[in-house]
Amino acid sequence: MSARRILIFAAHPDDEILGMGGTIARHADAGDAVRICCVTDGSSTQYAGDLEILRQKQQEARKAAETLGVSDYVHHDLPDMRLDTLPHVDVNRVVERQVAEFQPDTVYCVQADINLDHRTVFHSVAVATRPVPGQSVRRLLTFAPSSSTEWTPAPESWWQPNWFVDISDTLERKLEAFRCYRSEWRDWPHPRNDRALRVQAEHYGTVIGCDAAEPFVMVRGIE
């Protein structure tokens, strides 16, 4: 089977590791072409004017990706925590450019949850991956970053996983990758630490009968 082309959209640095780090490692191990695209700068609202933390987050993101076997990491500079203040078309352009350039067959996107940046990125990805003639994307899935999707109240949540990936062999690399994000680490029982990520992966493993798994929503699949 020929290598697949995998494009992953995150709103912030660490979304992709929290939500699907083990799956990213599996794609890299399989020889798939993998690109991670972070749409925001990741720090401008929380740390306004702090160029040092901005550089730190970007370095953490690239190191985490490399830990999983991915060197193709694209970091855009749209304003963190303020994507909903931009014209929708401005975010669309960033996402559409990545899809047109990379020509993925599979796109993973952060789930549209309580975080408005996540919602904005999802809506733009939905636009960029519409199944029009000539569209390269055959599968669109969403992933759930810890400390966001599970905190979304029921009336606003459509997170009902229907696709799972066995990460029993790559869980340790996911945990190693998240350790690169020292700026995002929080102590237990917060969801962003080794123990919480392991518990979550083991829980979803019990759902599908394996040691560890990551959940996704298959938005669209075309064969």
Q: Are 39 and 83 in contact (CB under 8 A)?
A: yes
In the chain the domains, ranked by start, together with CATH numbers, are 5-221 (3.40.50.10320)
Q: Give pLDDT tens digits along the chain (223 positions).
A: 579 999 999 999 999 999 999 999 999 999 999 999 999 988 666 666 677 888 888 999 999 999 999 999 999 999 999 999 999 999 999 999 999 999 999 999 999 999 999 999 999 999 999 999 999 999 999 999 999 999 999 888 999 999 999 999 999 999 999 999 988 899 999 999 999 999 999 999 999 999 999 999 999 999 9
What predicted TM-score, i.e. pTM, was given to this entire model? 0.96
Q: List the 72-78 sheet strands across, edge first.
A: 72-78, 33-40, 5-10, 106-110, 139-143, 213-221, 163-166
